[in-house]
Every structure is written in structure tokens, then in C-alpha cells.
């Protein structure tokens, strides 16, 4: 493999490999280190890589490195530290409800089994189709569907009380808006 081919491969896939490991580890520094290690392994072994399978191979190498290096260390994934919403314009009650939901969501993600969390985040954050996830992970589409189903069940179970509370809060807000609208029309 020439330096030019390696550079092209790195430019094409480094961000994806890094993001994949970030979803598994929840730590940007670890993700960067492991992604770099995966590319170094290819460079050092002077591997010949088919363009069609390059991304899958890199992700497999990175996954193996992560498992070998950090299997005993279970890092909690903290979704909201990396992905923030615009909190401007929220009332204090809205902010409390949001913070409560955010904490429940983080806890649900932390307690979700790693394989389910991995598929869930690849689907919801990267917006990958099940087929694309299956190709990257070297699994069948049925296996991805099963993991996603289990991930959604996990979230449903852990967020049930919070979601019910928020739905009731929105219903109350909607009801107040209708009453206000009716009184304005009189």
C-alpha cells in the first residue's frame, strides 16, 4: 500500500471508524486513539484492501482493538454531552422536565447492553439503514432488527414514566391553549 493510497483510505474512513468506537465507548479520546490504531495496523502490515470492504474491515479491526483494550472498562455513554439541543426559550418548568428526561435517557443508554446501544445509535444518530449497519458490523439484517427491537424495548421500559409525564404535560399545555383560544373568540 502506497502512502497516497493510505492517505486516501484515512481521509475517507477515519471519521466513520472514530464515530463507531465513540458510540461503543462514550469517550472521544478513546475513540480517536483506537481509530488511529486501526489505521496504523493496516499501515504496519501493509495490507491490501478492497475498496468495497475497506470500511467494514476498518470497523472490525477497530472493534477488536476496543474489545481487547477496554473490555474490562465499561465506559458509560453520555449522549447529551456530545449532542446538545438549543435550550433557549424554555420556561423553568420546561427546563426541569427536559433535565429530568435527559437524566433518564442517559441512564437508559448507560444500562442498555452495548450491542443494542451500538445499533440504536448507528440508526438514530448516523441515520443508517439496517442493511448498512448489518454490512458494517458483519451481521444479518435480521440480527440488526432484533437488536434494534431490544434497544427500543429497553428505552420504552426505562423511559415509560418520564414519557407519560411529558405527554400529560403537553396535553395540559394544549388544553390551556384551546381554552385561551375559545375565550379570545368570544
Taking a C-beta distance cutoff of 8 angstroms, is the pair 78, 28 a contact?
A: no
Backbone torsions φ then ψ of 48, nearest 5 degrees: -95, 125
- Please give the grid coordinates belonging to residue 126: 448516523
Contacts of 156 (CB under 8 A, 6+ apart): none
Burial letters for 166-179: b for 16+ Cβ neighbours within 10 Å, e otherwise? eeeeeeeeeeeeee
Q: CA torsion angle for 127, 139, 41, 12 (degrees, to 10)?
A: -30
- Say whether pLDDT at 179 is over 60: no
Give the domain 86-185 fold: Arc Repressor Mutant, subunit A (1.10.10)
Structure confidence at residue 76 (pLDDT): 37
Domain boundaries, the chain: 3-70, 86-185
Instruction: Give the pLDDT confidence score for residue 169 in this predicted structure.
Output: 54
Q: How far is CA 92 from CA 34, 88, 167, in A?
A: 41, 11, 18
pLDDT (tens digit per residue) in 68-79: 765 444 433 444
Q: How far apart are CA 141 and CA 119, in angstroms?
A: 11
pLDDT digits (tens, 9 = 90+) for 4-41: 888 898 999 999 999 988 888 777 888 899 999 999 88
What is the value of pTM for the model shown? 0.49
Q: What integer pLDDT is reported at residue 140 of this predicted model? A: 92
**What is the distance, to the nearest Å, from the Cα of residue 4 to the centroid of all Cα atoms in its chain?**
32
Those residues with Cβ within 8 angstroms of residue 157's Cβ, 6 or more apart along the chain or in another chain: none
Amino acid at each position: 500500500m502506497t502512502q497516497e493510497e493510505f492517505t486516501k483510505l484515512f481521509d475517507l474512513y477515519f471519521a466513520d471508524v472514530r464515530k463507531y468506537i465513540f458510540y461503543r465507548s462514550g469517550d472521544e479520546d478513546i475513540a480517536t486513539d483506537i481509530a488511529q490504531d486501526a489505521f496504523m495496523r493496516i499501515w504496519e502490515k501493509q495490507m491490501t484492501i478492497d475498496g468495497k470492504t475497506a470500511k467494514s474491515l476498518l470497523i472490525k479491526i477497530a472493534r477488536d482493538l476496543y474489545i481487547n483494550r477496554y473490555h474490562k472498562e465499561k465506559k458509560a455513554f453520555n449522549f447529551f454531552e456530545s449532542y446538545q439541543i438549543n435550550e433557549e426559550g424554555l420556561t423553568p418548568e420546561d427546563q426541569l422536565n427536559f433535565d429530568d428526561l435527559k437524566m433518564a435517557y442517559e441512564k437508559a443508554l448507560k444500562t442498555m447492553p452495548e450491542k443494542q446501544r451500538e445499533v440504536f445509535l448507528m440508526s438514530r444518530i448516523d441515520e443508517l439503514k439496517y442493511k448498512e449497519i448489518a454490512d458494517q458490523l458483519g451481521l444479518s439484517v435480521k440480527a440488526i432488527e432484533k437488536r434494534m427491537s431490544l434497544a427500543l424495548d429497553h428505552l420504552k421500559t426505562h423511559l415509560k414514566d418520564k414519557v407519560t409525564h411529558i405527554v400529560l404535560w403537553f396535553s395540559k399545555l394544549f388544553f390551556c391553549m384551546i381554552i385561551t383560544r375559545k375565550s379570545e373568540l368570544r
